[in-house]
Amino acid sequence: MDCFVGISGCEYAFESILHGQDGKMVIKYDDNGNIVEKYYETEPISGNDVYLTIDIDIQITAEDALKSSIDGIDSANAGAITAIDPNTGAVLAIASYPTYDLTQYSNEEYYNSLLEDENTPMLNRALQGVYAPGSTYKIGVSLAALELGDVNTETQCTCTGRYDALHRPSCNGVHGAVDIYTAIQESCNIFFYSIGERLSIEPITQFTQKLGLGAKTGIELSERVGTVAGPEFRKENKLEAWAQGDDLSAAIGQADHGYTPLQLSVYMSSIVNGGTRYSAHILDSVRHFYTKDIISSYEVSVADRVSFTSENHRILIDSMGRVVSENNEVKRYFKNVGVSVGGKTGTAEVNGQEDNALFCGFAQLEAPKIVVTCIIEEGVHGYYASEPAAKVMEKYFEKYK
Ligand SMILES: [Zn+2]
């Protein structure tokens, strides 16, 4: 029996549930080739229905908002967005751009054009796209530094626009006296270079990996695990040895760090919910094909726990609140969300290209309900990636007042 089998994505992941069981038909002919008898030796059984956690309204908003932002930036052609519930790991929306028309998928000419497209429309960037996290990584660095006692709210450094040691890397501005709140709000590199130099990257990645960066998210679909920057990765892959200067770039989310948009959402969720890393999932329930009765429901699962103090949790929430409320380039996009929003922008360097734009945020500040990550390849400014995220949050709070 010929069946259409999903080759990727949900149909593939849930094939065994959706498929049911083929029947076996017996057909008997007479000497002239006429059918004289036809019956099922085994009756076919319908597959069950799979219900997903995807919220169709949020999904449509995410797809439209992502496309519209990418279309508005000259150098940008691709990106991804994910929205999850930070208290369960349920995926509410997941979109990648460019995408393709599933109804034309079996047309050979169309399929070949997808293969040849340099913007790789068949790549699901939300799960398979691996990106430097840029400054979105600074939240994990802050948490590690606070918990390890390397910084506290009294810690200050002076930003003159350049770091005064090693290869003297630069900042994105001249920020003067900077503490952890302003370092996060202004995304001051100097503050984070100094953490990187003092701690080196390994104690930091121990935290960020437990939070979800460089770990499987748990989603039922095929995903990449990414790359945790550090001496170990270099050694394993026979690359240039890790140098002290690399600790500095790694502390601002560059060097070899590479993570997927969904991983960033899981990481941010683990931070804002107070330290629980929930497995990401899109399976909500399996229901009977005819009656729609629930046969089984997904049970929320904890992948890991990271313990940190409520004081340090508060510092991060407040600082990320300031990123949105105190920076005009970011703030303008969130004015219609209706609740307080926190987050972190990132502008990540990519060799030979315009910078990638990232935003990873949550709402509301007290008791977050949604975490949204957006990445726009060659999106130039981090805050451009906050626009689609804002639209998704706006839709969410309009729907679930
Ligand atoms: Zn600075």
Model pLDDT for residues 54-79, shown as the tens digit of each residue: 999 999 999 999 999 999 999 999 99
For residue 188, the CA-to-ligand 1 centroid distance in Å is: 4
Residue 160 alpha carbon to ligand 1 centre in Å? 7
* Strand 91-97 versus strand 276-278 pairing type: unpaired
What does the alpha-carbon distance between residue 313 and residue 272 come to, in Å, rounded to a whole number?
A: 7
Q: Do 136 and 80 lie in a common domain?
A: yes
- Who contacts 53 (Cβ-Cβ below 8 Å, separation ≥6)? 85, 90, 91, 92, 281, 282, 283, 284, 298
Q: Is there a single domain that holds both residue 137 and residue 18?
A: no
Are residue 239 and residue 200 in the same domain, yes or no? yes
Q: Using CA atoms, how far apart are residues 358 and 347, in angstroms rounded to an integer?
A: 6
Is 118 among the domain residues? no
The verdict on 25 and 145 lying in the same domain is no
- As to burial, measured by CB atoms within 10 angstroms (0-12 exposed, 13-18 middle, 19+ buried), residue 115 is exposed
Q: How many domains does the chain have?
A: 2
Q: Identity (one letter) of the amino acid at 62?
A: A
- Cα 174 to ligand 1 centre (Å): 5
Q: Considering the domain boundaries, does residue 4 fall inside one?
A: no
43 and 59 in one domain?
Answer: no
Question: How far away, in angstroms, is 154 Cα from ligand 1 center?
Answer: 17
Same domain, 163 and 242: yes
Look at residue 5 in the predicted model and tell me its pLDDT.
44
145 part of a folded domain: yes
Question: How much distance in Å is there from the Cα of 328 to the middle of ligand 1?
Answer: 18
Task: State how far the alpha carbon of 276 is from the alpha carbons of 218, 303, 306, in Å.
Answer: 14, 8, 6
* Residues 90 and 174 both lie in one domain: yes
Question: Per-residue confidence at 194, pLDDT binned at 50, 70, 90?
Answer: very high
How remote is the CA of residue 164 from the centroid of ligand 1, in Å?
Answer: 12
> Is residue 31 one of the residues assigned to a domain?
yes
Based on the domain organization, do 228 and 289 belong to the same domain? yes
pLDDT-wise least confident of 30-39, 125-134, 187-196: 30-39
Domain match, 137 and 259 both: yes
73 and 35, same structural domain?
no
| Whether 25 and 103 share a structural domain | no
Q: How far does residue 365's CA lie from ligand 1's centre (Å)?
A: 25
User: Would 207 be classed as within a structural domain?
Assistant: yes
For residues 15 and 67, the model is more confident at: 67
pLDDT for the residue 8: 54
Ligand 1 mean position, distance from CA 367 (Å): 31
CATH assignment of the domain containing 79: 3.40.710.10
* Domain shared by 95 and 21, yes or no: no
Q: How far apart are CA 141 and CA 299, in angstroms?
A: 31
For residue 98, cis peptide bond before it (omega within 30 degrees of 0): yes
Per residue in 225-264, pLDDT tens?
Answer: 999 999 999 999 999 999 999 999 999 999 999 999 999 9
Q: Which domain holds residue 64?
A: 51-107+123-399
